[in-house]
Amino acid sequence: MLELLLSPLRRLGHTTINAIWRLGFITRFLFAILRYSGQSLLRFNLTIREIYFAGVLSVIIVVVSGLFVGMVLGLQGYNTLSRFGSADALGALVALSLLRELGPVLAALLFSSRAGSAMTAEIGLMKATEQLDAMSVMAVNPIARVVAPRFWAGVISMPILAAMFNVMGIFGGYLIGVVMIGLDAGTFWSQMQSNVDLHADVVNGLIKSLCFGIAVTLIAVFEGYDATPTAAGVSAATTRTVVTSALVILAVDFVLTAFMF
C-alpha cells in the first residue's frame, strides 16, 4: 500500500532531478563547445561542409514554405482589412507579421525538423557505433571535430534562412495582393516602407533568428551527444530534438518579443 503511494512520487522526483541534471549538463556542454570552437574554426572547411548540409539543403523547404505563408497572409489579410476599408495597409501587415514573428519562428521550426533532427541522428549514431570513442582514443576531441562545426553551421545558417523566408513571404504577399487581387503596387510598397523600421523590425527579427539558431542547434547536438547509444535511444533522441526545439523556440520567442516590442 505504501509502495503504491510512494512510487508516483518517486517517479516525479526522478524526472525532476533528471531534468535538472540534463540542464546542468547542457550548460556545461555549451561552454565546452565555445571553448573548443577556436580549434574547430581554424579548420573552417569542416564548418563549411556542415553549412552545406544544414543550411543549403534547407533552402528549398524554407523558400517554398515562405512563399505559401506570404500568400496565405495576403489572402487572409486582404479579407480582414477590406472589411475595414484599409486594404492599402496589406503590404505593411504582410511585412510586419513576417519580419517580427512568422519569419524567424517558422524558419526555426522548419530548420529544427529538417536539419536539427538530422544532426541528432548523425551524432547519436556516431556515438552508438563508438566513432566518438574512437576519436578520443586517437586524441581527436570529438567536441571540436564533430559538435562545434555543426553548432556554428546552425548558428550561421539560421538568420540567412529566416531572411530568405521573409523575402519569399513578402514576394508571396505581393503576388496575391498586387498581381492577383489588383491592389496598387506603389501603395503596397510605400505603406510597407513607411511602417517598417530598420532597427525595430528587420534587425530585431534577425536577432530573434540568431537566438533561435543557437537554441535549436544546441539542443540538436546535445541530444545527439547525450543519446542512449542504441537504435531505440537514437530514435528517442531525434524525437526529443524536434519536440524540445519547438517548445523552446516558442518560449524564447515570447521572452524576446516581450523585451523587444
Partner 1 sequence: MKRSTIDLWVGLFVAIGIAAVVFLSLKVANLTPQSADQTYTLYADFDNIGGLKVKAPVKEAGVVVGRVSAIRLDNKTYRARVSLSLDKQYDFSRDTSAEILTAGLLGEQYVGLLQGGDPDTLKDGEQITLTSSALVLEQLIGKFMTSFTGGNSGKSTASAAQ
Query: Which range in 25-33, 159-167, 221-229, 230-238 contacts partner 1 by CB under 8 A?
Result: 159-167
Closest by CA to 91, choosing from 172, 15, 6, is 172
> Rounded distance, CA 237 to CA 12, Å?
21
Helix 90-97 vs helix 59-83: crossing angle, to nearest 10: 140
Q: Residue 99, interface with partner 1 (CB under 8 A)? A: yes
Q: Residue 166, interface with partner 1 (CB under 8 A)? A: yes
Query: Which range in 2-10, 31-39, 54-62, 135-143 contacts partner 1 by CB under 8 A?
Result: 54-62
112's CB contacts (< 8 A; 6+ apart) are 216, 219, 220, 241, 242, 245, 246, 249
* Candidate list 167, 181, 236, 248; residue touching partner 1; CB under 8 A: 167
**Contact criterion met (CB below 8 Å) for 102 and 208:** no
What SS3 state is found at 227? coil
Q: Residue 172, interface with partner 1 (CB under 8 A)? A: no
* Candidate list 201, 204, 222, 249; residue touching partner 1; CB under 8 A: 201
**Contact criterion met (CB below 8 Å) for 147 and 33:** yes
Q: Residue 214, interface with partner 1 (CB under 8 A)? A: no
Binding mask 117-156 for partner 1 (x = CB under 8 A): ----------------------------------------
* Candidate list 102, 110, 119, 170; residue touching partner 1; CB under 8 A: 170
Tell me the torsion sign for CA atoms 235, 241, 244, 245. Answer: negative
What is the size of the binding site for partner 1 (CB under 8 A)? 29
Q: Per-residue DSSP letters for 57-117?
A: GGHHHHHHHHHHHHHHHHHHHHHHHHHTT-GGGHHHHHHHHIIIIIHHHHHHHHHIIIIIH
Q: How far is the CB of 195 from partner 1 (least distance, A)?
A: 9
Q: Residue 79, interface with partner 1 (CB under 8 A)? A: no
Q: Which is nearer to partner 1, 53 or 228 (CB)?
A: 53
Q: Residue 55, interface with partner 1 (CB under 8 A)? A: yes
Q: Residue 164, interface with partner 1 (CB under 8 A)? A: yes
> Rounded distance, CA 33 to CA 143, Å?
6
Q: Residue 157, interface with partner 1 (CB under 8 A)? A: yes
Q: Residue 61, interface with partner 1 (CB under 8 A)? A: no
Q: Which is nearer to partner 1, 194 or 230 (CB)?
A: 194
Q: Residue 184, interface with partner 1 (CB under 8 A)? A: no
Tell me the torsion sign for CA atoms 76, 82, 87, 92. Answer: negative
DSSP label at 201? Answer: I
Site residues for partner 1 per CB under 8 A: 45, 48-49, 51-52, 55-56, 59, 95, 99, 157, 159-161, 163-164, 166-167, 170, 189, 192-194, 196-198, 201-202, 206
